[in-house]
Amino acid sequence: MHGLINRAIERFARDTYGGDVWIQATRRMDLGFTEVAAMLHYDDAVTTRLLQQLADLLDKPAPDLLEDIGTYLVSHPNVESLRRLLRFGGVTFEEFLLSLDDLPGRGRLAVPDLDLPRLELVPHTDQCYALTVFSPKPATLPFGRVVMGLLRAMADDYGALVVLDYKGDRGAAELIEIRLLEPAFAEGRHFDLGATPP
Amino acid sequence: MHAVVSGTGHILRCGATLRKIQGREDPVGQRFTEVFEIRRPRIGPSMAVLRAASGSRLHLRMRSPPQIDLTAVLIALPKDGGPLSGGALVDLSFGISVIDAVRDFALTGSDFAVTDPTIEMLYLFEAKSAAMEASRKLNLRLQGAMIAAEEQAFTDTLTGLKNRRAMDHVLTRLIDRGEDFALMSLDLDYFKAVNDSLGHAAGDHVLQQVARRIVGQMRGADTIARVGGDEFVVILAGHAEGPVLVDIAERVIGCLEAPIPFEGEECRVSASIGAVLSRDYAHPEMDQLLADADRALYTAKMQGRRRVALFDPVQDAEGVPPPATPHQQGPDAKAPDRR
């Protein structure tokens, strides 16, 4: 697994629950390090075990933990740069949704060896979409839950009112139903195209 | 961004983004060349000249601050007697100045045409900057780890022998366990001459060959360290007999004296050795042993180099300098009386 993914988990744990929780998780795993290098690769098992340790330590079901990570990645000021990169996807939330198919490609533009899940958005009826998340390696990490949290936070960011429904998985493919109730429900957060990235 | 220019050279219409970057004054109604300075090609401001540049790349600069540079192409419109007769259509883009322009004019995604890849370019710029920053942090960490590893290293990188740190560890361990051992302090003779006459590359080569030759004379259990430029320390575990030790030391000197070829030249060095035996001390201490070995080495040097001197704590206490045995050339040479 790419170090960026593990680094995301680390920053989520540190920023949300404090460094102690994170260090405790790495100690329990006997990792031999307490800080993930974002630009190195790690064994897939490290990611799986890290998530399991954190879920145990925080007494939180794994799917909830993953969704919280997705929300964190968009909403926490410490990872503002990622939110900015996602906002480049479109001027409105709808445009952003339609840009999701490009997400793995955009990821690779930035970091060529980063394997992100393939996303496939199919518009159904008016304002209703079905998003399929194909995780790169089955059984490693159910990215769909992370995407759920990420979409929820992005909707807030754009000021859109949405209802998300996790429809379950078929092997490595997870299905999310998105209903866009009100594209401009709230003001949303300002996105300054020319701001200096943090 | 675009502008429509009339046959008289005035801007008739322009896109919203161009209005935004022109600032307070509406560009519509102004002469095109009053709004833009044509930087390249160097052509005059007349409409006829501009129309002649139809289809080629133009480098423009806004005359109003912050005077950003733009890339443009102009298409001459036909002289058909209509309202645009003899005019031109100009397509403008920010080119490389786009990152500044987006900041200076607070441009948004809707300022760019759907097909315009500028937003993707901005994305790429930010994404790459973030990735570079992550890589830079990793490099800093790796550099720190490398320095730490070097500090903890036990190997002399030039010769592959142990270094001073490793020697300290070995000596401390032997003393702590109360084991008998011998210690030789070896200093090359005439090494400076090699360095001075043939250069540092030759010097390094000699040090490597010397290291190899010393290793060849020792047993696997012995520790050989390079502790300075041309200073070596050999620790021989279990050795307790002075004459045997002197024999070994002389053998080492003998094999170091064989010429060392380097790029067609022959480098010749020798060595002086000072030695101590741990069992000569009631309570051996590392610093004392090393200092006494160095004193014996000094004696060997003083007595003409290419010699072995064994340190004697009893004579030292009585103020008698240790005798140094001159090294004899050849295997048949009879060693002189040693102590």
B287 belongs to the catalytic site: no
Q: Residue B182: exposed, middle, or buried by beta-carbon count in 10 A (0-12, 13-18, 19+)?
A: buried
Measured CA to CA, the distance from residue A92 to residue A88 in angstroms comes to: 10
* Matching residue, tokens 């800080």: A35
Taking CA–CA distances from A113, the nearest residue in chain B reads B131
Contact B102 A194 (CB under 8 A): yes
| DSSP assigned state of B158 | T
Collect all residues of chain A within an 8 Å Cβ-Cβ radius of residue B101: 194
Q: How many residues does chain A have?
A: 198
Residue B333: per-residue pLDDT: 38
CB pairs under 8 A between A and B: 64
pLDDT of residue A197: 65
Angle (nearest 5°) at CA B296 between B294 and B300: 110
Average pLDDT, chain A: 90
Give start and end residues of each alpha helix (H) in chain B: 16-22, 32-35, 47-52, 98-104, 118-152, 164-177, 191-198, 200-217, 242-256, 286-302, 313-317
List B156, B230, B280, B312, catalytic entry: B230
Give yes or no for residue A188 having a pLDDT over 90: no
CB contact under 8 A, A111 and B131: yes
Question: Are B106 and A194 inside 8 Å of each other by CB?
Answer: yes
Q: Which of A10, A131, A117 is nearest to A72 (CA)?
A: A10
pLDDT given at position B271: 96
- Rounded to the nearest angstrom, the minimum Cα separation between B279 and chain A is 44
DSSP state letters, B19-65: HHHHTTS-STTSBHHHHEEEEES---S-HHHHHHTTTSEEEEEESST
Overall fold of domain A70-182 = H-NOX domain (3.90.1520)
Q: Which of B108, B134, B135 sits opposite A193 (nearest CB)?
A: B108
Q: What per-residue confidence (pLDDT) applies to B207?
A: 96
> Which pLDDT tens digit goes with each residue over B207-240?
999 999 999 999 888 999 999 999 999 999 886 6
Contact A39 B135 (CB under 8 A): yes
Give Cα separations from B296 to B95, B231, B242, B322, B336 (angstroms).
77, 14, 13, 7, 18
- A88/B102 Cβ within 8 A: no
Give the mean model confidence (pLDDT) for residues A175-181.
Answer: 95
A110 vs B135: CB contact, 8 Å cut-off?
no
Please list every residue in chain A whose beta carbon sits closer than 8 Å to the beta carbon of residue B123: 85, 88, 106, 109
Residues in chain B where the model's pLDDT stays below 70: 239-240, 317-339
* A137-173 pLDDT per residue, tens: 656 788 999 999 999 999 999 999 999 999 988 877 9
Q: What is the ipTM of this complex?
A: 0.77
**Cβ contacts (< 8 Å) between B127 and chain A: which residues?**
85, 106, 109-111
From the CA of B24, how many Å to the nearest CA of chain A? 21
User: Could you read off the pLDDT of A120-135 as tens digits, one per residue?
Assistant: 999 998 789 999 999 8
Give domain limits for chain A.
3-60, 70-182
B2-112 sits in which CATH class?
A: alpha beta
Residues of B in contact with A111 (CB under 8 A): 127, 131
CB contact under 8 A, B124 and A90: no
- How many other C-beta atoms are found inside a 10 Å radius of the C-beta of residue A138? 12
- Quote the pLDDT of residue B332: 40
Q: What is the pLDDT of residues A72-131, one digit of tens each?
A: 999 999 999 899 999 988 889 999 999 999 999 989 988 989 988 999 999 998 789 999
Among the listed ranges A50-59, A61-70, A183-192, B227-236, which one has the minimum average pLDDT value? A183-192
Interface probe for A, chosen from B17, B104, B111, B126 (most Cβ of A below 10 Å), is B126
Q: What residues of A are in the B interface, CB distance below 8 Å?
A: 4, 7, 37-40, 81-82, 84-85, 88, 90-91, 106, 109-111, 191-197
- Spatial separation of the C-alpha atoms in residues A134 and A142, rounded to whole Å: 9
Per the CB < 8 Å rule, is A194 touching B110?
no
Nearest alpha carbon to residue A86 among A14, A5, A158: A158
Return the CATH architecture of domain B164-326. Answer: 2-Layer Sandwich (3.30)
